Structure formats: structure tokens, C-alpha cells
Amino acid sequence: MAGNTTQQSNAVAVGYAAGSSNQGPNAVAIGDYAGNNEQNLSAIAIGNFAGSVSQNSNAVAIGDNAGASSQGGTSVAVGYSAGKEKQGIGSVAIGPNSGFNTQGTNSIAIGYSFGQSNQNNNSIAIGSNAGNSLQGPNSIALGSSAGADSLGDNSIVIGNSAGNTNTSGFSNYTIINSTGSVINPSASSSLKIAPIRTAPVASDYSLLFYKGNEVFVSGVNTSTQNKTFVIDHPKDTKKYLVHACLEGPEKGIYYRGKGQIINDIYVEIELPDYVNLIGRNFTIQITKIYSSSSLFEQPLETTEIVDGKFKVYGYNCSFYWTVFGERNHIETEPNKEDYELRGDGPYTYISKK
């Protein structure tokens, strides 16, 4: 019964009922019931029941039951029951049961996946049981059991059991997991990395670390809420150097420099030519540099800043100058009922409800 009905030119059918009905030109069917019905142009089916029903043009199915039913054009299924049912156009399934049922267009599944189903378009799953069920479109699952159940749309999970289950419909999240335990998303558009660095108590916090299914940022001390960063001590290799951020009720900018009056009248200080475009409400501080000849002279005075320039008046001398400005206005005492608090630790911000 091989090539029994309407076998077209250059087609090959080897095995009981292989290429039995409507085998297309240049198609190859090897194995019992391989390419049995409607095997199309240049398709290849090798293995019992491989590409058995409606194997489309240029598809490849290798392995028992690979691409067995409705294998899409130009798709590849290699392994027992790989891409078994409704494998989408241009998709790849390699490994037993990979892309088992309804693998989406241009998706990739590599690795043993028991009963894998409904891998959506343009998604990638690599690893045993990765993206096993309901993998969302444009998502990526790398690692054993990564994204095994209901991986959200446009999400990325990497590592054993990363994003193993998602029952809340989250999407656009990223999880990188090397703990060996299940790490799941807690919100859409979120990031979890585990572990970065474990910290048993707040005093040990440094750099990035992972604790209690959350990611924290460097230098957070929950008792004082300092925003710090840590660098190697420049002189003592046994020590760290810990610096903290300045705080204030504005987004500030500053410029500083050194000036000199040589005409016993004034000197003009010129700031960057873009300063008026990014700042406002400028203030100026002047510190005269000591000189025995100017010890009892009058103090220096300045003008306002106009067009990014200001003048310093006085007798001949050298001085340091600092200019502070407001970068952007912030509301310093907002009502809680009008805003939502976002972020972690001291690295928080608010957004309108």
C-alpha cells in the first residue's frame, strides 16, 4: 500500500501505507504510515506515523509520530511525537514530545517536554519541560521546567524552574534563577534575579542581593534608609569606602570653578551655554583665596546669572566659585491619596493614580 494513490513524480514511499494517498512531488516517506495522507511538496517523513496526515510542503518529521498531524510548511520535528499535532509554519521541535500539540508559527522547542501544548507564535523553549503548557507569544524559556505552566506573553525566564507557574495572568516579566527552587513572577513588567547575593541581616547589605523572593539594590540599610554605594578603599586594601547620596527637596545641579580678578574691578564667569535650558533658580557662592596683599580688602560681590554668565566684583584676587540650580521642580509634600508609591527601599518614587 506504499504510494498507493496519486503518488507524484520523484516521490519516495517505503513502509506499510507510507505515502499511501496524495504524496506530493519530491516527498519522502519512510516507515509504516509515514506521510500516509496528503504529504506535500518536498516534505520528509521518516518513522512510523511520521508526517502521517497533512504534512505540508518542505516540512521535516523524523521519529515515530513526529509531525503526525497537520505539520506546517517548512517546520521541523525531530524526536518521538515531536510536533505531533498542528505544528505551526516555520517552527522547530527537537526532542521527545517537544512541540507536542499546537506549536505556534516560528516557535522553537528543544528538549524533552512531556505533553507540551499550546506553545504560541515566535516563542522559544529550550530544556526539559520548558514552556510545557500555554507558553505565551514572543516569550523565552531556557532551562529545565522554565516557564512550564502559562508563561506570560513577552516574558523571559532563564534557569531551572524559573517562572515555573503563573496563575495570575502576568506578562512582560523577566526571571533569572539559579537557586534550584521555583521562582515565580509577582507582577507584570517585573524583574527577579536569584540569587545575586544573600544577606541575613540588614547590616550586611552591599552591592546587589536577593532575599525573600525580592531583589534589592546596593547599600540599602532598612533602619536608616541611606542611599549608599561601596568601592574599594584607595589606600587601605583591607577596607571599603562607603559614600552616600546628598538629599534635598529638589532635583539640583551644580557647577564650580576658580576665577581671578586682575583689573581691580570684576571678572566675568561663563557657564556652559546650555545651562539656562536645563536649570533655573541659580545661587552663587564665592570663597576668596587667601593672599597677604588682599587681607583687609572688601568682600567680593556677584551679579545675577544672565544668559549663562555672571560677574564677580572686587579688588585683584583669586577665588573659588560654586553655582547651584534647580534642575526640575518636584512636589515635596504630595497627598498619599493622590499617588501610588513604587520602587524598593529608599529607591522609591510616586506616580499619579
pLDDT tens figures, 99-153: 889 999 999 999 888 667 888 999 999 999 998 888 999 999 999 989 888 888 9
Residue spans of beta strands (DSSP E) within 89-178: 92-94, 108-110, 117-119, 124-126, 133-135, 140-142, 156-158, 174-177
- For residue 173, what is its C-alpha cell? 516579566
H or E element at residue 325: strand 317-328
| pTM for this predicted structure | 0.60
pLDDT for position 251:
86
Higher pLDDT, 20 or 91: 91
* Cα-based distances in Å from 336 to 248, 328, 330, 339: 20, 21, 15, 5
Query: What is the sign, positive or negative, of the torsion defined by CA atoms of 344, 346, 352, 353?
Result: positive
Return the pLDDT at 183.
87
Label residue 197 by pLDDT band (50, 70, 90): low
- Contacts with 141 (C-beta within 8 Å, 6 or more apart), sequence order: 123, 124, 125, 126, 127, 130, 131, 135, 147, 148, 151, 157, 162, 163
Instruction: Give CA–CA dist 107/122, Å, rounded.
Output: 4
- The type of residue at 91 is S
Strands 60-62 and 280-288: unpaired
- 234-243: long-range contacts at Cβ-Cβ below 8 A with a sequence spacing of 24 or more? 240/206
Report the residue count for the chain: 353
Quick one: cell of 286? 564665592
